[in-house]
Amino acid sequence: MCAGELCGMMHTDEGRPDGGWIRVRVPLPFSLKYVNAYLVPERDGWTLVDPGLRTPEAERLWREVLERSGIGFREIRAIVLTHPHPDHIGLAGWFQERSRAPVYMSGRAHAYAMRLWGPERTFTDELPALYREHGLPREMEEALRDHLEGFVAMVSPLPEPVFIQGGDRLEVGGKGWEILDTPGHADGHLCFYLREERRLLCGDQVLNGITPNISLVPGGEPGVLARYLDSLASLEKLEVELALPGHRDPIRDMRGRIGEIREHHVRRLEAMEAMLETPLTAFEVCMQLFGGRVNGSMHHLRFAMSETLAHLEHLAREGRAASARGADDIVRWKRG
């Protein structure tokens, strides 16, 4: 059933396969290493959740997994996306072409994907322009643009969506899951909750071992970190025995993990506030916070810079920081 180390059966209790769910660890060419996709058995086929980034390695793995599991592409009845980041949506269109299955995602998620990778995409220009006004050196703009364009092949073809939204229900594994709007990590991010089994499909909203990236991006709704923290607060109210995330291992103590993530953001906000005794650009704050880890990688820089902007925006909302545009057209931040 397993394809080497990259795929494993889900277990809720020691040794007991859980309702036939298959977790497939789809490889990623980033430090995250893999994304969790889930194959869920249905009466007449399978539902596929978050199929992963489109790379030759991922395609090869999927062909192996399906063959070893005896699953034909046409037996995939539905494809469900928690959110539109490339490591989750990338293979959705590839699977849709082969299975002809509907791809369920939120309208906001689809709009985001179109802005980044659709034929009339604008993000490739908008993101470098945003970073530029926040201090990104001009010589890095072109590399950032190339980096963004490099994702188009890894998410193509984009799927034809069927829109779902918070408050609706979706049948997965023969059971009615509640759809929850959980913005913050991505616009249009959805979680899926099976109340009677206290189980949550949580995408990248809550992760073990790593804190989900919170990014301020052009065209996003304002207050991204506030919206993320609100989403965590709404999830915290749920009874959850097992949360199935988009990366790393399943989460048993979701409330405990939410508490740790919240604490992480409190500490980061305090650290940034302390830096702003002297005015700094977001890029300078980013380098002080993440410099060593960015290490010349555009991929890391993008996460670090948007995470920095999200926290600065949050400090400004709380009256703890303020920004001003200089004569050089660059925005600088200082303590509020």
Binding site for Zn ion (CB under 5 A): 87, 204, 246
**What's the min distance (Å) between Cβ of 154 and Zn ion?**
13
The SS3 call for residue 112 is helix
**Strand-strand pairing, 321-325 and 190-194:** unpaired
**What's the min distance (Å) between Cβ of 275 and Zn ion?**
28
Closest CB to Zn ion among residues 192, 283 = 192
Tokens 């709404």, located at residue: 234
Closest CB to Zn ion among residues 124, 213 = 213
Closest CB to Zn ion among residues 51, 135 = 51
**What's the min distance (Å) between Cβ of 247 and Zn ion?**
6
Six token digits for residue 131: 């970073």
**What's the min distance (Å) between Cβ of 145 and Zn ion?**
23
Q: Running DSSP on this structure, what letter comes out for residue 235?
A: H
**What's the min distance (Å) between Cβ of 243 and Zn ion?**
15
Q: Is the distance from CB of 51 to CB of 96 less than 8 angstroms?
A: no
Closest CB to Zn ion among residues 17, 150 = 150
Max Cα distance, the chain (Å): 65
Tokens 């494993």, located at residue: 8
Closest CB to Zn ion among residues 93, 203 = 203
Residue of 67, 16, 242, 216 lying closest to 131 (CA atoms): 216
Cis amide bond preceding 86, omega within 30: no
